[in-house]
Chains A and B, each alone.
Chain A
Amino acid sequence: GQNIDQPTEMTATEGAIVQINCTYQTSGFNGLFWYQQHAGEAPTFLSYNVLDGLEEKGRFSSFLSRSKGYSYLLLKELQMKDSASYLCAASDSNYQLIWGAGTKLIIKP
């Protein structure tokens, strides 16, 4: 079957760095997405990886290892507004997104 695993909740301190991991198993693979979702709101796109390696975009970076079925989202210089859920989603052979349950990130002052 198809499956996405990511931690349920993480806590970090303002100004610090946090890494959110995601492992996936899909029928075929056409890339890995990270979305940010604030409570009660729709997800917003953060990043997309389809090749191995690190993609950097400002304070956020995303990494992919296709051979390991593994990705992580790295958030630097954490701000209080980064408190949100972070959703990992893998695109399968039909380009359908398989979603993880999300990681709730709590930022403490």
Chain B
Amino acid sequence: GAVVSQHPSRVICKSGTSVKIECRSLDFQATTMFWYRQFPKKSLMLMATSNEGSKATYEQGVEKDKFLINHASLTLSTLTVTSAHPEDSSFYICSVDPGESSYNEQFFGPGTRLTVL
């Protein structure tokens, strides 16, 4: 399996500020990482696919200018929530697919709980 870390685990910020969340693949080089958002008692929603060295692929309805993704290296992808608002409060999780299995098993980071006041 793959070991994935996220930082920070929790963040509280004021409305209008920007928050950066880091996702690191600790034991393998990830050309692709996935960013999800999960509201309480709701399913995981894929926000975007982060591609090393190129632009991220965003899902329909996800604002590219609000959720900035940078995948500058094979072990790090960052998600920046710009001008955060209370409705952005959610659980943000990243995942990687190391390609070890034939069925695209994803390994998840521990998640980041964002609360916007």
With contacts A87-B43, A100-B43 taken as known, whether A42 is within 8 angstroms of B110 at the C-beta atoms is yes
**Cβ-neighbour of B103 out of A30, A41, A43, A102 (below 8 A):** A30
Residues A42 and B46 in contact in the complex (CB < 8 Å), given A48-B105, A50-B103, A91-B103 = no
For B6, the closest partner residue in chain A by CB is A42
Q: Collect the chain A residues with CB atoms within 8 Å of residue B46's CB.
A: 96-97
Closest to B45 in A: A99
CB pair B108–A95 under 8 Å, yes or no, is no
Q: Mark A69-109, 1 if CB is under 8 A from B, else 0.
A: 00000000000000000010101000111011110100000
- Docked Cα-Cα span, A41 to B91, in Å, equals 9
Interface centre among B91, B103, B113 (most CB of A within 10 A): B103
Q: Is B30 located at the chain interface by the 8 A CB criterion?
A: no
Q: Is the interface of A mostly helix, strand, loop or mixed?
A: loop
Interface extent on A, as a size class?
Answer: 20 to 34
**Complex: A38 Cα to B105 Cα, angstroms:** 19
Tell me the smallest distance from the CB of A109 to a CB of chain B, in Å: 24
Say whether A41 contacts B111, CB under 8 Å: yes
CA–CA, A4 and B42, complex, Å: 12
Residue of B with least CB distance to A8: B41
A40 touches B103 (CB 8 A): no
Nearest-CB residue, chain B, relative to A91: B104
- Cα A30 to Cα B42 with chains together (Å): 23
Contact with B along A33-46 (1 / 0, CB 8 A): 10000001111110
Interface residues in chain B, defined as those with a beta carbon under 8 Å from any beta carbon in chain A: 1, 41-46, 91, 93, 95, 101, 103-111, 113
